[in-house]
Amino acid sequence: MCEPKIEDFIDYLRYERNYSRKTTECYQADLEAFKQFYEEIDSTLNWAEMPADVIRQWVVEMMDKGNAATSVRRRLSSLRSFYKFLLRRGLVTKDPVHNMPGPKAEKKLPSFVREAEMDRLFDGDFFSDDYPGCRDRMILLTFYSTGIRLSELVGLSEQDIDLDQMQLKVTGKRNKQRIIPYGDEYGDSLRNYLAERDVFAKQKASQDKALFLDERSGQRIRPAKVRGIVKKYLSMVTTLQRNSPHVLRHTFATAMLNHQADLQSVKELLGHESLSTTEIYTHTTFEQLKEMYNQAHPRAKTKGGNYGNQDSSNPL
């Protein structure tokens, strides 16, 4: 039986599963870290005869060093995927990671911008009338109206827009494509933007078919530029510490659920593979619902000023 190689697994992810370079680099780093760990314990150890206790010891050491539970779980997931690959290829006969639980991670609710703040942004005079201002507004509106990822927005081209059917074709993770519908307000803004973009492209003599162009180069806008644009404008209307494109993705999902969209539909719009990934937004909307209740209901606030926290020692 051949000695398993990490490189073979990475090639499988990259060329057969179409994983991105960044993702495969994370897998490789995780596996190399574990390999270094077990070789330092016992140089005779190998992938095929790996005791489960060694993996548990690795988990304990990572936690003792202060690694976040999410990081440890990710590394354990990389190892689990590697062993599944080795089993399918017949390179090992057992999976020592099978049914091994990772440390429990704290569930953090995603940050989102309130609807009133988003309305203030789009209804106010925050954007200039030139091409950069028109483009910036369209970028923010696209994130908020569709919930797409940063990479998906940057990858949009003219041919991905269907003005008649009022929909966008988006290329997501692992090159999976999905169709996202949009409404009248977004459609009107998009038509106005495309007219401005065409004028700008002619002035720059740009042949780039990207939907969003950089005002200096006339070429497809870069992710770092988009991050800066989002941070700039969201900072004008919200006090959130994180003002990123992903926050707008959270904002889209939260707004949809707050307005009675069903969870399955939001899952499809976001391009999530699992419904459990989308379910975190139900916690967000519930927290918002509790806050609204505490602010609005006359019996939610006690005389001492605490919300929903009556003294249980006095039943009357």
Would you please indicate which residues are annotated as catalytic (active-site) residues? 149, 173, 246, 249, 272, 281
What whole-number distance in Å separates Cα of residue 166 and Cα of residue 188? 10
Give me 257's structure tokens: 């659920």
What whole-number distance in Å separates Cα of residue 293 and Cα of residue 282? 16
Contact yes or no for 245/230 (Cβ under 8 A):
yes
Return the residue matching tokens 């995780």: 30
What whole-number distance in Å separates Cα of residue 234 and Cα of residue 242? 9
The H-assigned helical ranges of the chain are: 6-11, 21-41, 52-64, 69-88, 115-123, 131-146, 150-154, 184-204, 223-234, 245-258, 263-270, 275-278, 280-296
Contact yes or no for 135/212 (Cβ under 8 A):
yes
Contact yes or no for 178/191 (Cβ under 8 A):
no
Residue 220 CB contacts under 8 Å (≥ 6 apart), including other chains: 154, 208, 210, 212, 213, 214
Contact yes or no for 127/205 (Cβ under 8 A):
no
Residue 19 CB contacts under 8 Å (≥ 6 apart), including other chains: 13, 27, 174
Give me 316's structure tokens: 């009357």
